[in-house]
Structure 1
Amino acid sequence: MRINTLVPDTEGDLAWPPFGQDKRSVVAVGNFDGVHRGHQAVLKRTVDLAKSYGCESVAVVFDPRPTVVRKYAQEHDGAELPLGEFYPDPYALTDIGTRLDLIEKLGLDRALVIRYSMAFGAKSYQYFLGQLVGKIGMRNIVLGRDSRMGAGRAGDPKSIDSIAQATRMFEVDVVDDRGPGEVRVPLVNTPEAAEIMDKVNDPDNGLTKAERRALSKSVPNHLARVWSSTYVRYLLSHGHVEQAADILGRPHEVNGRVVGGKQRGRTLGFPTANVAKDVAGFMPADGVYAGWLTDVDPETGEERRYPSAISIGTKITFGEPEARVLEAYAVPPLDADGNPEWLDLYDHHVRVEFVRFLRPQVQFDGADELVAELKRNVEQTKEICK
């Protein structure tokens, strides 16, 4: 997949890459944060249409997420997020590298990464559609059912199709990317509110319509599509990694670099990889999880994947309640003599996948009690990942 990064000028205009005079394309546009099953439906349709018409399949991806750019502008008197400046986005499910990897696996020919800016976001959807047609030969645009684009998010599928019908320059293909209906998500995401909304969203809990309606009114909430980044974020924030994986079509993952720690895990017999540098991806709720750690060797790029017991939270047992950290105990393979291999992961880039929630973070009375629980968690992990 060819990747081009487009940086708007101060007026929000783009220098589009050359596509060839006679080149035509089928285009999907969006943030694609998480590349969940709804996104996958849109992107797969884009690939299929492009193949049927002999066109190039193109994903137009915005990065950073528009929400982040607008937040920065609000905090800095309307200023643009400076090019190259790091600005945290803790709510992004996936970083741009992971998104592009996932998009490529779906068979797209090209990705255009537009560095979102306030000036670009002020352009109308009519202007943007004209650019897609005139600059990259858009023959078809593939949209999700609830897609919005352009200033004020005014460009919905109906409005875009009206332009297509009037100009006859392109066609619109709308994919139902919403999944199995809608759910309610609390406006204030507390454990108490989440517990109530989980009851409201569960169709098999035996509640009557009146009881469900009364519960729903007891907590301020809003509707969200089941197949949506918003709902995945909500699920992960409460440790529901299996439900999130069902929507993503794969286990949720974060990635980052392993740094040196206090080596307390090694003294306990459970040397952990402290993933604490350049961490990208939405961090699930505090707790212990069964999952996988994929080690990417910094010199060779070779990947090795290990079942892992993963801990997210603070080290309250050892009186360190401040820093929230991710640690993963990668279950090592056995050597020829049946002994565990030594895994040197320091300074390696790793991916951590979350398969199942095992338990919340708790404070133990001492190291012995903690070690006993860690042993149990490791055996659970081996069985789950077997």
Structure 2
Amino acid sequence: MKINTLTPDVEGNIAWPPFNRNKKSIVAVGNFDGVHRGHAAVLKRTVDLAKSYGATSVAIIFDPRPEVVHRYAKAHDGAQLPDGESYADPDALTGLDQRLKLIEGFGIERVLVIRYTLEFGAKSYQYFIGQLVGRVGMRTLVLGTDAHMGRDRAGDVKSIATLADATRVFELDVVDDRGPGERRVPLRSGDEAAADALDKVNDPDSGLTKAERRALSKKTPNRLVRAWSSTYARYLLGRGRVAQAAEVLGRPHAVEGTVVAGKQRGRTLGFPTANVGQDVQGYMPADAVYAGWLVDLGVAGEDGESVAESGVDSEAERGEVKRYPAAISIGTKVTFGEPEERILEAYAIVNGEKDGLETAAVGGIGEALDPQSEGWIDLYGHRVRVEFLEYLRPQIHFDGPQALVDELKRNVAETLRVCQ
């Protein structure tokens, strides 16, 4: 897959890369945050049409997400997000690198990553589509049902269809990417009371009658979103419902980051963990303990890429990526009264016997295993992916270390059950 990164000039114009003028393009446009099942439908349709027409399949994505740029402008008197500045986007389901890997998996041949700016966003959808036709050779534009583009999001599916009929220089192909209907989410983020009520409204097995469901939704401030949408996936993850989020995404939700040295509290308890605390990409689910997988992607380079990603020969590059069942914790060290900094830790379950469970130390020297032993895993400085399969329990305060250890043993056993 060929990737071009395009930065608009001060007037919002783009210097488009050269395309084969003898070969047309089938183009999908979107944020593709999370690359969920709705996005998958759009990308698959794009690839299928390209194959049938003998055309090039192209995906156009924006980085940063437009919402981030406009949020920054609103908070800074209309200022542009500074070029090259590291921007915080905690609501992004996936980082750019993750998005690109997932998109490549659908067979897309070319991706254009456009750095979204206020000047670019001020262009009309007619202008943007004209550029796609004239510079990218777009024959068909593939969109989801609720797509919008251009200044003030004026280019909806209906408007673009009218433009296609009037100009006859491109076709619009609208993909039903909605999934199984719509879901209700709170009007205000962080409204836990509304979220609890709407969980009952959304759950067909909640025991509520249609009248009760309707009455509850009317008195609870909420809005409708598609069942297959980044918004609904984000809502589920924020509630710790990782298994339900996986149904929206079509795969377990995952975050990636580099393993760093922690305070080694788990080592003293006999449960050494990999602390994923650097360059974390992906949306962090709610504070809780989860069952899932820890995937070793190889040694991270200076730019944060793993050895495999940077092209250096390694086990990971040769397809020998190692996966370990893992008990995953997100939260603060409440039991030990440490500062309220959110930490992601993963305790891998591998070779070695301890209390009847297969376990191993991760990342540093622990009491359980010697670093020279067969079950030792040294992940310091490695890029890892943490995949979330199932919610196990909330973060709670324990009376002391032994009570925590007893609970961790139960969490490990439950993780093995889930992963097996």
The equivalences for 1:1-386 within 5 A come to 1-188=1-188, 189-298=190-299, 299=307, 300=314, 302=316, 303-334=321-352, 340=360, 341-386=375-420
Separation in 1, partners of 2:274, 2:192: 29
Residue deviations 1:67-111 (CA, integer Å, cap 9, x gap): 000011112221111121101000000001000000000000000
Separation in 2, partners of 1:297, 1:208: 52
Cα deviation, residue 310, structure 1: 0.2
Cα deviation, residue 314, structure 1: 0.5
**Could you say if the C-alpha distance between residues 137 and 326 of structure 1 is closer, same or farther in structure 2, counting changes exceeding 3 Å?**
same
**In 2, are the aligned partners of 1:332 and 1:343 still within 8 Å (CA)?**
no
User: What SS does structure 2 have at the residue aligned with 1:230?
Assistant: helix
Give the equivalent residue in structure 1 for 2:369.
Answer: none
Task: Compute the TM-score of the two structures, normalised by the length of structure 2.
Answer: 0.89
Separation in 2, partners of 1:347, 1:330: 16
Residue deviations 1:17-51 (CA, integer Å, cap 9, x gap): 00022221000000000000000000000000000
Partner amino acid, structure 2, of 1:251: P
Separation in 2, partners of 1:256, 1:263: 18
**In 1, are the aligned partners of 2:348 and 2:359 still within 8 Å (CA)?**
no
Cα deviation, residue 321, structure 1: 4.4
User: What SS does structure 1 have at the residue aligned with 2:342?
Assistant: strand
Separation in 2, partners of 1:217, 1:197: 10
Partner amino acid, structure 2, of 1:328: A
User: What SS does structure 1 have at the residue aligned with 2:193?
Assistant: helix
Separation in 2, partners of 1:268, 1:207: 45
Separation in 1, partners of 2:34, 2:198: 23
Structure 1 stretches lacking a partner, 5+ long: none
**In 1, are the aligned partners of 2:350 and 2:359 still within 8 Å (CA)?**
no
Separation in 1, partners of 2:266, 2:205: 42
Separation in 2, partners of 1:103, 1:40: 8
Separation in 1, partners of 2:155, 2:67: 17
Partner amino acid, structure 2, of 1:265: G
Partner amino acid, structure 2, of 1:63: D
Separation in 1, partners of 2:339, 2:197: 29
Structure 2 stretches lacking a partner, 5+ long: 300-306, 308-313, 361-374
Cα deviation, residue 230, structure 1: 0.3
**Could you say if the C-alpha distance between residues 339 and 77 of structure 1 is closer, same or farther in structure 2, counting changes exceeding 3 Å?**
closer
**In 2, are the aligned partners of 1:23 and 1:136 still within 8 Å (CA)?**
no
**In 2, are the aligned partners of 1:8 and 1:115 still within 8 Å (CA)?**
yes
Separation in 2, partners of 1:90, 1:301: 31
Residue deviations 1:302-331 (CA, integer Å, cap 9, x gap): 221111000000100000141111110011
Cα deviation, residue 251, structure 1: 0.3
Partner amino acid, structure 2, of 1:296: L
**In 1, are the aligned partners of 2:298 and 2:383 still within 8 Å (CA)?**
yes
Separation in 2, partners of 1:202, 1:249: 19
Task: Compute the TM-score of the two structures, normalised by the length of structure 1.
Answer: 0.97
Give the equivalent residue in structure 1 for 2:366.
Answer: none
Separation in 2, partners of 1:224, 1:339: 42
Partner amino acid, structure 1, of 2:150: G
**In 1, are the aligned partners of 2:23 and 2:54 still within 8 Å (CA)?**
no
Partner amino acid, structure 2, of 1:67: E
**In 2, are the aligned partners of 1:142 and 1:174 still within 8 Å (CA)?**
yes
**Could you say if the C-alpha distance between residues 62 and 339 of structure 1 is closer, same or farther in structure 2, counting changes exceeding 3 Å?**
closer
State the percentage of identical aligned residues: 67
